[in-house]
């Protein structure tokens, strides 16, 4: 039997860039760690750092109750765990997947006698084990299971629990990353605009970063409007005004020889909402246009 001061032993399946970073964090914190990887050399490298390398998934799973999985995708999770006995195991799946895949994987684990938490990693490998880097992992699934393992899960990165629904970690993960890609798309367009002129990108970048940072809190207003249902509440820049300004953006792109293909779809949605009568709103009404009607 373990004493309270002993660290929870962890089994980790998957030693890619992220899995290796997770492994090092648990080893550094003194957790007994059993590892498996499809390509064994990666496990052998970690054995030199104190991990117990296993040659088979069933052996790795059998070693500990807490089994963390960090593989490429949901299909590789299926491949990897197919032959393992999960009875009585606590499976924490940190593999990026869709919400539907997470929901199905939770049911799949339950059918095999395992408890299941899904996780979405909001960090890149160099942020793992570095608390000041601000990385964290979103978790969803049974709260008591999360609470039971919270201290161990908090070793590699911060933990943010988003509810009992096992799909919600993946949902939050993909939603946040989708917003990130929208930001990157806007930044790509902005850099393209300055590219043909004598503007130093390294002088432009701080302006861009500060502007995006200043605009980011606008999402709180959007959230309040969505919750309250009044999309005109607190509006400072009406949709009508913003649509009137869109030719300036498209003409500038044209003048600079830049394709409008990143901006144009969003402007088209703004015009549609204006045509529907949303001129006194700001951009929140566009969200409703994105929601497909149930079939
Ligand atoms: N790295 C990152 O920046 C992101 C940050 C946010 C979260 N993601 C997700 O984390 C999962 C793992 O990502 P990773 O960075 O470790 O990925 P790779 O370095 O490519 O390693 C992939 C591991 O998966 C193993 N693997 C692939 N296919 C299979 C399979 N069919 N059966 C068993 N294992 C498989 C692979 O094994 P090997 O190639 O070494 O033999 C690696 O261990 C991922 O969901 C990201 O979206 C990372």
Burial annotation 70-87 (CB, 10 A radius, 16+ → b, else e)? bbeebebbeebbeebebe
Condensed to tens digits (0 to 9), the pLDDT of residues 118-149 reads: 999 999 999 999 999 999 999 999 999 999 99
- Predicted confidence at residue 4, as pLDDT, reads 54
ipTM over 0.90: yes
Q: Cβ of 174: how many Cβ atoms within 10 Å?
A: 15
Tell whether ligand 1 has an atom less than 6 A from the beta carbon of residue 45: no
Condensed to tens digits (0 to 9), the pLDDT of residues 37-62 reads: 999 999 999 999 999 999 999 999 99
- Predicted confidence at residue 56, as pLDDT, reads 97
Nearest ligand 1 atom to alpha carbon 39 = 41
| Euclidean distance between CA atoms 43 and 176, whole angstroms | 32
Condensed to tens digits (0 to 9), the pLDDT of residues 227-254 reads: 999 999 999 999 999 999 999 999 999 9
Q: Edge-to-edge, what's the strand order for the sheet holding 90-93?
A: 52-53, 33-36, 10-13, 66-69, 90-93, 115-122, 136-141, 158-161
- According to DSSP, residue 118 is labeled E
- Predicted confidence at residue 80, as pLDDT, reads 98
Region for residue 109 given its phi and psi (left: phi exceeds 0; alpha: psi -120 to 50; beta: otherwise): alpha
Backbone angles phi, psi at 26, to 5 degrees: -70, -40
2 band by pLDDT with thresholds 50, 70 and 90: low
Which among 211, 186, 191, 189 has a CA at the least distance from the CA of 202?
Answer: 191
Tell whether ligand 1 has an atom less than 6 A from the beta carbon of residue 239: no
Nearest ligand 1 atom to alpha carbon 38 = 41
Distance 69 CA to ligand 1 centre (A): 10
294 band by pLDDT with thresholds 50, 70 and 90: low
Structural domains in the chain, sorted by start: 10-164 (3.40.50.720), 172-290 (1.10.1040.10)
Tell whether ligand 1 has an atom less than 6 A from the beta carbon of residue 16: yes
* 292/112: higher pLDDT: 112
Distance 95 CA to ligand 1 centre (A): 8
Distance 219 CA to ligand 1 centre (A): 32
């Amino acid at each position: 039997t373990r004493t309270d001061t002993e660290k929870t032993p962890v089994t980790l399946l998957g030693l890619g860039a992220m899995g290796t970073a997770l492994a090092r964090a648990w080893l550094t914190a003194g957790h007994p760690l059993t590892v498996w990887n499809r390509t064994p050399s990666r496990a052998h490298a970690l054995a030199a750092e104190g991990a117990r390398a296993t040659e088979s998934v069933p052996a790795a799973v059998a070693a500990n109750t807490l089994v963390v999985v960090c593989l490429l995708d949901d299909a590789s999770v299926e491949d990897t765990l197919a032959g393992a006995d999960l009875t009585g195991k606590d499976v924490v799946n940190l593999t990026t997947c869709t919400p539907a895949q997470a929901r199905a994987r939770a049911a799949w684990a339950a059918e095999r006698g395992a408890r299941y938490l899904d996780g979405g990693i909001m960090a890149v490998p160099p942020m793992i084990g570095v608390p000041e880097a601000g990385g964290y992992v979103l978790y969803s699934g049974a709260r008591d299971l999360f609470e039971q393992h919270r201290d161990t899960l908090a070793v590699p990165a911060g933990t943010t629990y988003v509810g009992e629904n096992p799909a919600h970690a993946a949902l939050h993960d993909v939603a946040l990353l989708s917003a990130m890609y929208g930001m990157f798309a806007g930044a790509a367009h902005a850099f393209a605009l300055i590219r043909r002129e004598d503007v130093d990108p390294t002088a432009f970048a701080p302006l861009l970063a500060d502007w995006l940072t200043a605009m980011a809190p606008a999402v709180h207003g959007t959230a309040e409007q969505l919750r309250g249902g009044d999309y005109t509440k607190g509006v400072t820049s009406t949709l009508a005004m913003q649509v009137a300004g869109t030719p300036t953006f498209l003409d500038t792109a044209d003048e600079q020889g830049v394709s409008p293909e990143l901006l144009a779809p969003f402007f088209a949605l703004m015009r549609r909402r204006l045509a529907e009568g949303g001129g006194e709103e700001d951009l929140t009404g566009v969200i409703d246009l994105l929601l497909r009607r149930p079939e």
